[in-house]
Each structure stands twice: as structure tokens, then as C-alpha cells.
Amino acid sequence: MNKYLIIFLFCLFAVNRSFSQSNSLSSSPYSLYGLGLSNELNTGKTNALGRTGIAIPSTTDINNLNPASYGSIPLNRFFYDIGLQYEINEMEDKGGAESKTNGNFSNLAFALPLNKKSGIGLSLVPYTNIGYSISQFESTIEGSADTYYTSINGSGGLSDLKLNYGYSLMDNLRLGVSASVLFGKVTENETNIINNNVLQLREDNHYSGFRLGLGMQYDLSENLSIGSIITLPTTLDGEQYQDIFQYYNGTLTKSSREENNISSFSLPSEIGFGFNAKLWKELSISADYRREFWSGTNQTDGIGTYIDNNFLGLGVEFNPGGNPLNYANHIQYRAGFNYDSGNLSVSGNPVNSNTLSLGIGLPVKTGTNSMFNLMYSYGTKGQVSDGLIKEKYHLLSLNISLEDIWFVKSKFD
Amino acid sequence: MLTGLCLTSCSEDTSTYAVGDDWINSNTKVIFLDTLSVTSSSFQFDSIPVSATNRLLIGAYRDVEFGLVKSKVFTQLSNLVYSLDSEATYDSIAVILKYDGYVYNDTLQQQQFRVYEVLEEIKPEEDYYYNTTSFKSADNDIGTKTFTPHPVQEDSLHIRLNDGFGQELFNQIQKKKISNSNEFLQEYRGLLIEADDSNTAILGFSSESLVRIYYTIGDETDDIKETLDLGFSITNSFHNITSNFSNTWFEAIENQMTYLPSTTTGNQTYIQAGAGIATRIDLPHLESLNNINGTGTIMEANLKVSLKKSLSKKVLTTRDSLQFYIINQRSEIISELFNYDGITPMGFITQKEDEFNIITYTVPLKYYLDTKAADYDGDNWFLVMYSQDFNSSLDRYIFYGEENSNAYKMKLELTYALYDE
């Protein structure tokens, strides 16, 4: 076995633990709606490329954005990817401003070729994140002049355990299929302080579902590829456990658990197109467009309504090249931009976001594709008017993208 | 390095923010209700136990609302030593009643007490003396006292008894016909001390009251004054309280299941300790809370009861708290009222408006309502509101009933939280 595999397995265990606990990958009040904020981070280098990658193959690392890319994994290679993230959120509404940070795993993935023409991979990526906490807001006791205080915090999120399979139909045409198991828990804790008494509600909403995706990548030439994806709509079934605790002058007087039926949550279909072009030997660019048909799910939320969202991303990568013995020549430089029109509309205002990202890929050593992919992105979301919140976020991510070479005997063994 | 990263990458949430609280979609709604029905009535316990009270009540007074109430005391006397010097000569005998400070109504008028010999053995019925327990007594008194009470300035009241009675008792002891308690109780069953109907006050006396024989031992040079005390028995002394309800609402009472709804007694309810008059409070239709949409729970429940002070003269003092019990439909006490912390809640004064002579008592009822709702027989539970010292005072209270139109009507205030609409 290989040391990378041991590390990977250890991390898988750790991630599983942290996923199953209250994994706050988000600290955004926007995670209040639906099942939380969609996770934008993924494997490999795509984070820094404006989150584009529909047309990018998986020849040196795992590109999880299109299952068709798995058809391009070279023989005898084994890829791992461990992602970590750290986020600083600055929020502002008409009432004031605040800042919050959090850090966690952002993904785990591995992939391997099955034969010359096909590859397979498994990834565990957060699908949505929930992290909000609102303290001591005051409400009136109906029928009196007295008030009570409520604190609410939400945590949890859904994970996407995805099996990807890619197949090279022709040398320049790859097809892929992915099967996702989406699962997770959305927890909301609510504490009401009513005079000397406390009513505590804890809701655990468990969701699970299955989702299929299809992908295609086509190399028009050696330097230009296009790709597309389709993700099928699905429904996540939910079940809720509600715990109720009541304290009267400090004494626990009620403790009960109820199992409630909650409505299932619909995920819309999604389509996406992208291209990846090598302009020069050193410079390549990529662009993706995706659209999620949220309005078709006919779902509403307390905050706003769901609308179709458009996603546009652009990415540039620069490889200096030159003398391969010089480490610096292996460093990759990336930059990207993306725009997300948002799937939520609050009183007619869509909550869109813009993100600028910069990244650097540092090879573990020369002569390998194993790389530390560092990324910094700065984004804004919402606005400080019409009841919206303006959120600025600084996101740092590190993807440890490792390559092993298997089944090849070392000549010097 | 990798493992280090793995270990340190747990999430951290440090601050909380108010940003976004407009969006919070709380599942909870809290409402305040004071319109739930309360039904109150007055009734009288058939009897209340009065064994071993520290205070013995003697007196009588006529009350506009409650009629004539009288309290008399039956007491057994006892001593450890029954011996007198053969040279001693009898002087006098008196009952010495030690004031304990309790007075009710008008003490400025002249009062009269009379003392009788009891002709039956004073013993409890089924282990208890009740305010209704009585024993046969002699027709003629062995002492009377007409006096103006000074329970503060004086520490006791002396009632001189018949010397014939005293000499006889003295002789029997001196001649050793009585040398122990048994022999004494064979001859002297006890005393009854009662008040005249025309009295205007109820007076409280300590159970350390006694009968004292005064005698002299002649000496060659001087006479020495001595006394022999026969104390009131702590276990076999009690007060008997009777009422004459003529021309009052209580005339209608037949037994403790006769309930006088406040709506038929001038929108008032009553308490008279000692006599056993209490206020019963029914909180029916609590199930109507279930008609509110959603699942809910009682966060707080308080009963508010206001004293009708305009009817309570200054000499008719009231206390700063009230006692509560749970009774069944036959007015039998099921238990004390409890709270979640195991402490018996009292109704304490929460509002005092001297200008309007209003005192409002509040008692927490959350535990009562929760257990009443959970008990299979909870529909037959009622609250009884009673005075402190219910077996050793004659304190009376008059409360606003639930049908009064003013703010002081009897009402239940509920804070109810709906958590699942």
C-alpha cells in the first residue's frame, strides 16, 4: 500500500465524523432557506478557475464537474483529492455589520482508470451547507405588552456521495454518467426565553435522495475541447424528529420527541456547457455556463421564492514551462471569475453573487502531478437594501491533489 | 503535515450575529390568555382537624357576612406531681390563660368568659379532635370573668374559680386521695371555657395555659405562699368552633358538598378559617386550549385573586399569603398544591393598591394544570383556597368573584406557547 492511501483513508474517517457532526461549512444567513447554501468548492484545480471545468479532462487530477472527464484518467494512475476550506464572512444589512469565520473539509475524492478507455471515481463533497445563528431577538407575547426572546441556530447540510464513470467512446469523445446519493441532516435549534421559563425546540430534518447526471466531453482539436452536462431532477425525502424541552423556573418539566412528516424537497434539473482552449503552450482558458431550473420545482420558502439561476464562469491557467528541472517552472497560476444569478428572490430581488478567484498549484515535487492547489477567492452576495443582506466572503481553499502510480514495478526495486 | 491538517480542520463558530434576524422564521408563537373560564364558589368543610394546635381560640363575634361565630376550649389538665404539704392551707384557684397575641375583631368592648367542668373523658374521635368535637359539661359554671382584654400589655388572663371547687380539689390531693394523673382524671375530666354570645372578639391563648392552686404553709415565724399548677394537656386541649349562619348566604349550607357559586353570593367568595369556610375554584374547559391551531404547551399559569378590602374592616386582618389544596368533587382534600420544584406554592400578594383598598394574590398553577390534564380523574379536581392557620385562627377573607366587571375579578392568566402551527 501507499502512504497517500493511508492518509486518504484516515481523512475519510475524519471527514465522515465531521460530516456527521454539526458540520458548519457556512456561516451565512442565506443558508437559512431551503436546505442551505449550495457548496461551490470541488476537487482539484477547478476552484481557482472560476469554478469552470465542464470541458476539462481528468488527466492530471480529478475534475469532478463532468463525469465524462473520468474517461481520460491515464492508465496505472490513482488520484486522490482532499479539500480543506477556510471562510471569512462579512455581513451587513441596514441594522449593522458582523463578521464570522469557519473552516472544515470541503471534499474527499479518489479516481482510478478501469482500462485504457474508462475510469471511475468516488467523491464525497458537501452539497449544501447550513450555518446560521441568531441570538436573542425580541418578539411580543400576543395579547400582552410583554416580550420574549428567541435564539435560533442552524447547522448541518447535505453531502453528495457521487460515483462517476467516464468512457472514451472515441479518442476525442468521452461520455460519462454519475450517480449521487444525497444525504444529510439539517438541524435547527430554537430557544425561547419567556419570562423565567424556557421552551427549547430542536428539529432534525433528515433528507435523502438519489440523483443521476450525464456528461459529455468532445475534443474539437488538440487545443480546444467542449463539454456538456445534464443533471436530472430528483426529490429528496425528508423526515423530521422534533425534540421539545420545557423548563419552568429552571426545572425540566417537559421532554418529548415527535416524529413529523415533512414535505420532500425537489432539486431541479440542471444543464451546463463549457469549453476549454489552450491558447498558447503556457496559457489555457475555460468557460462554463450552467442553468438550474428552480422555478420548475414550484417551491417557496419563508424568505423568498425560487427562481431559475444562471451561472457563468471564466478561468485562466498559466503554466510557465521551460526547464523541467527548475521547480518554479512547474508552478501553475490560475485566475477566475464567476457570476451566479442566484436561485432565491427576496421580494423581487434576486440574490446574486460575484466571485473573483486566484490560485496557485504547487507540485509536491517535480516529475509528478501531485500538487497542492491553493485558492483564494473574494465574493459578494446580496445587497444592503430591500431587506437583503450584503455578504462579502473571503474563501481560502487547499486541495491536496495527489497522484499515485500503481501496478508499475519500479525499475530500481 | 497532512494528518495535522486533518485534525485541526474542525469547524469553529465563534460569533453570533443579528444580521439577518428579519428572516428568522421562528416556529414558535407565544400568546397570553386571561379569558379562560374560572368558576368559584364558597363552601364549608364538615369539619377540620384541630388537634395539638399551638393556639387555643376563645371568643365570639357577630359578623355581617358570616353571622355569629363562637369558639370555646375543651381542656384536660395534668401534672406529674400530686402532693401537698399536710400543713398547707388552701387560698384560691384560678385558670390562667396566656395570651399568644392573636386577636380578631373588636377588643375594646367588654368580654365575658365562663368556665365549666367537663363531665366526659376528653379523648379524640378517630385520633383527631375536630372543630366540631364536643363533650358534655356541667350546667353551672365554676367561674366567670368579665373583662376588657389587653393581650399586648398583659401576658395572661386570670379567671378566678369557685372556692368550693378549689378547696375540694386541694383536699383530695392533700389527703392523698389523688396522688397521680389517673386518679386525678377519674375525678376531674377537664374544663370547658366558653365565651358569651355577646362578646365582640376572638382571643388566642397559648397551650401553655394552666390552672393554679394558691395555698399557704404556716411557719412559726412567717407564712409561705405556694402554688400548685395543673397545665393544659397539649394533646387533649382543642377549640370547638360553631357558627350561626342566620340571615347570611351560608344559611343554605347542608354539608361540604353544598357549593355557593360566587354568582349567587354577590359575586364574592369567602374564606373563614376555623369555621371551615373556603373558596373552591374550578378551571373547566382547559381542553379549549387544544382548539387553538397548532401544538402548544403552557409556559406559565397564574391565578389572580383580589381581596375585597372595602368589606374587610381594619380589625379583621388579612395575611400576606393564602394556602391552596386540591380537592375532589366531594370536597375531600386530595393533596396540597405543589409546584415543579416540590415546594407548595402560596398565593402571595403581587399588587397592593392602597388607594382602592385592593390586594391581589397570585398563585402559580402550571404544575396543577399539567398534572390535572394528565390525571385520569383530573376533571374532578378543584382548587381550594384557604387562609393560613386554617385550624387556629378565625381570619376571614372576601374576594372578588369571576363575574365582576372590574380589573379585580378572579382570573387565570396563561402564557401559552404554540410550537407547531
- Higher confidence at residue A326 or residue A55? A55
Candidates A343, A364, A259, A257; CA nearest to A300 is: A343
Compute the distance between CA of residue B192 and CA of residue B239 in angstroms, rounded to an integer.
9
In this prediction, residue A18 has a pLDDT band, given cuts at 50, 70 and 90, of very low
- For an interface test with A, which of B3, B16, B17, B33 has the most A Cβ atoms less than 10 Å from its Cβ? B17
Q: B327 — alpha (psi -120 to 50), left (phi > 0) or beta? A: beta
Q: Whose CA is closest to B37, among B281, B387, B336?
A: B281
Residues in chain A within 8 Å Cβ distance of B300: 194-197, 248
User: Using a CB-CB distance cutoff of 8 angstroms, which residues of chain B are in contact with residue A187?
Assistant: none
Helix (H, G, I), strand (E, B) or coil at B371: helix
Query: CA angle A265-A269-A270, nearest 5°?
Result: 125
Q: B257 — phi, psi (to 5°)?
A: -100, 10
pLDDT tens, position by position, A273-293 = 999 999 988 899 999 999 999
Q: What is the pLDDT of residue B4?
A: 38
- Collect all residues of chain A within an 8 Å Cβ-Cβ radius of residue B6: 10-11, 14, 82
The beta-carbon neighbor of B299 closest among A133, A151, A199 is A199
Q: Which residues of chain A make contact with B2, given a CB cutoff of 8 A?
A: 7, 11, 82, 400
Give the pLDDT score at B397.
Answer: 92
Which B residues, 341 through 360, put their C-beta within 8 Å of a C-beta on chain A? 341
Confidence of residue A136 (pLDDT cuts 50, 70, 90): confident
- Three-state DSSP at A4 gives helix
Instruction: Name every chain A residue with its beta carbon within 8 A of the beta carbon of B21.
Output: 95, 134, 137
Domain layout of chain B by residue ranges: 29-46+255-420, 55-244
Contact residues on chain B for A148, CB-CB shorter than 8 A: 30
Name the DSSP letter for residue A141.
P
Q: Does A13 touch chain B (CB under 8 A)?
A: no
Percentage of chain B modeled with pLDDT above 70: 91
- A352-391 residues touching B, CB cutoff 8 A: 387, 389
3-state SS, residue B376: coil
Band of pLDDT at residue B388, cut at 50, 70 and 90: confident
Residue A40 carries which DSSP code?
-
Q: Which of B13, B20, B299 sits opposite A134 (nearest CB)?
A: B20
Whether residue A32 has pLDDT greater than 80: no
Query: d(Cα A79, Cα A111) in Å, to the nearest integer?
Result: 5
B179-188 long-range Cβ contacts below 8 angstroms, 24+ apart: B179/B82, B179/B83, B180/B82, B181/B78, B181/B79, B181/B80, B181/B82, B183/B82, B184/B77, B184/B78, B184/B79, B184/B82, B184/B230, B185/B76, B185/B78, B185/B121, B188/B77, B188/B117
Domains of chain A, CATH where assigned: 3-405 (2.40.160.60)
- Indicate whether this model's pTM tops 0.95: no
| Distance in Å, alpha carbon of A391 to nearest chain B alpha carbon | 10
Instruction: Say if residues A13 and A5 touch (Cβ distance below 8 Å).
Output: no
pLDDT at A157: 85
Whole-number Å distance between alpha carbons of B293 and B117: 70
What ipTM, to 2 d.p.?
Answer: 0.74
CA dist., res. B67 & res. B61, Å (int): 8
| A41 touches B: beta carbon within 8 Å | no
Largest CA distance in chain A: 85
> Residue A82: its chain B contacts at CB < 8 A?
2, 6
State how far the Cα of B402 lies from the Cα of B306, in Å rounded to an integer. 10
What are the distances in angstroms from CA B30 to CA A189, A243, B87?
17, 18, 85
Query: Given this model, what pLDDT does residue B229 score?
Result: 94
pLDDT, tens digit, 9 for 90 and up, residues B194-236: 999 999 999 999 999 999 999 998 877 788 899 999 999 999 9
B152 in contact with A at a CB cutoff of 8 Å?
Answer: no
Q: Could you list the beta-strand ranges (E) of B136-249.
A: 143-147, 156-160, 191-195, 201-206, 210-218, 223-244
Contact assignment for B19 to A132 by CB distance below 8 Å: no
Binned at pLDDT 50, 70 and 90, residue A7 comes out as low
